[in-house]
Amino acid sequence: MIHIIEGIFQNLKTWGLPVIMLIIGIIEFAYGLYENHWTKNERLLDIVCFIVPKILVKPVIAYFGLLLLPEVLPNAKDIFAWVPFWWGFFIIAVGDDLTQYWYHRLHHQLPWLWRFHRTHHSAPYMGMAMASRQNFLYTIFFSQIYFTTTMVYLGLGYPVLFVTGVKSLITTGAHSSIKWDKPFYTKKWLKPIGWVMERVISTPATHHAHHADTNDDGIGNYKGNFGNMFFIWDLIFKTGIITRQYPKGYGIKHYKQEEWYAQFLWPIFKSKKEGSELAHNGPMVGDATPELLDVEDSNLPVITPAYS
Amino acid sequence: MKAEKETIKKLRSDLLISLFLFALPVLLMLLTFKITGQQPWKNKMPVVKTQTK
A78-122 pLDDT tens trace = 999 999 999 999 999 999 999 999 999 999 999 999 999 999 999
A108/B21 Cα distance (integer angstroms): 21
Highest-scoring range by mean pLDDT, A26-30, A85-89, A293-297, A300-304 = A85-89
Domain positions in chain B are 5-39
Give the A window 93-122 contacts with B, CB below 8 Å. Answer: 94-95, 98, 102, 106, 109-112
Testing the interface with B: which of A75, A90, A226 to mutate, by most B Cβ within 10 A? A90
Residues 6+ apart with CB under 8 A from B12: none
Q: How many domains does chain A have?
A: 1
Tens digit of each residue's pLDDT (9 = 90 or more) over A190-249: 999 999 999 999 999 999 999 999 999 999 999 999 999 999 999 999 999 999 999 999
The answer to whether residue A260 is domain-embedded is no
Nearest in space to A12 (alpha carbons), one of A198, A171, A151, A177? A171
Nearest-by-Cβ selection for A84 from B7, B40, B47: B40
User: Residue A289 has what pLDDT?
Assistant: 45
A269/B38 Cα distance (integer angstroms): 56
What is the share, in percent, of chain A residues with pLDDT greater than 70? 91
Chain A touched by B16 (CB under 8 Å): no
Residue A75's domain comprises 2-236
The answer to whether residue A249 is domain-embedded is no
Pairwise CB contact (< 8 Å): A236 & B21:
yes
User: Residue A112 has what pLDDT?
Assistant: 95
The answer to whether residue A25 is domain-embedded is yes
Q: What's the complex ipTM?
A: 0.83
The answer to whether residue A183 is domain-embedded is yes
The answer to whether residue A289 is domain-embedded is no
Chain A touched by B11 (CB under 8 Å): yes
The answer to whether residue A286 is domain-embedded is no
Per-position DSSP letters for A232-246, written without gaps between them: HHHHHTT-----S--
Note if the pTM is more than 0.90.
no
CB neighbour burial string for A104-125, b if at least 16 within 10 angstroms, e if fewer: bbbbbbbbebbbbbbbbbbbbb
Q: Is the pLDDT of residue A307 over 70?
A: no
